[in-house]
Chains A and B, each alone.
Chain A
Amino acid sequence: DAKTTQPNSMESNEEEPVHLPCNHSTISGTDYIHWYRQLPSQGPEYVIHGLTSNVNNRMASLAIAEDRKSSTLILHRATLRDAAVYYCILRHNAGGTSYGKLTFGQGTILTVHP
């Protein structure tokens, strides 16, 4: 599976935008880029995913580089509730296999200051 690299930690102030980077230089053409986050003592929560084009949803935006070797998760206005570990994951499209394995790395710990 292709590997992702994220900073160990980042800090932000409340109500400011946050840009969480992820490098995935060995991504293959059929790998989807997924972002999950995990709040303390909870299970991971899906945030957003994309393949080639930038994506927006109610939680965040995903900006994907043209060469797909990096991506950035954008939280437009951070709140204290956004403090979590953010995981950038490549979801390998295994063709006929439908189970969709996710490989979690260490993620980025986001701290939001009031």
Chain B
Amino acid sequence: SQTIHQWPATLVQPVGSPLSLECTVEGTSNPNLYWYRQAAGRGLQLLFYSVGIGQISSEVPQNLSASRPQDRQFILSSKKLLLSDSGFYLCAWSVRVGADTQYFGPGTRLTVL
């Protein structure tokens, strides 16, 4: 069966510090990978998606970047965090072809102080 991992589960960082969140998927090959952010409230916003190693598409301009160094690894980064980067970050994967369902990880709650 497939599983998706995210770490850390929670993170408190000062403004201006760097960020690295990691997501890995097990039990599948060539997945589509996604990073979402959920700010205070309920809506999720798609930040990045990737259809393959080294292929990253950004949905919104922001202070963050994403990388996919391996097939089942997706990393979200920032060089200097802003207060507005606080939120609940979720990684998700889907089957490459016919991507009907997305499977989400447990999330990382980031607080920038």
Contacts and interface: CB of A to CB of B under 8 A. Distances in A.
A85 interface: yes
Contact of A106 (B42, B45, B90): B42
B32 A100 contact: yes
A33 to B, nearest CB: 11
Nearest to A105: B43
A91 B98 contact: no
A105 B46 CA distance: 12
B46 A43 contact: no
Contact of A98 (B59, B98, B101, B103): B98
Contacts of A65: none
Interface string A83-114: 00100000100000011111111110100000
Given A42-B107, A43-B90, A44-B90, A100 B102 contact: yes
A68 to B, nearest CB: 17
Nearest to A46: B101
B15 interface: no
Contact of B43 (A41, A91, A104): A104
Contacts of B59: 101
A46 B99 contact: no
Interface string B38-70: 000111111001010000010100000000000
A43 B92 contact: yes
A43 B99 contact: no
22 contacts: A32-B100, A34-B101, A42-B106, A43-B105, A43-B107, A44-B44, A44-B90, A85-B42, A91-B100, A98-B51, A98-B98, A99-B49, A99-B51, A99-B99, A100-B99, A100-B100, A101-B46, A104-B36, A104-B43, A104-B45, A107-B42, A107-B43
List the 6 closest pairs (A to B, CB-CB), nearest first.
A100-B99, A43-B104, A104-B44, A46-B101, A43-B90, A44-B104
Given A42-B107, A85-B42, 8 more contacts: A41-B109, A44-B44, A98-B97, A99-B57, A99-B94, A100-B94, A100-B99, A107-B43
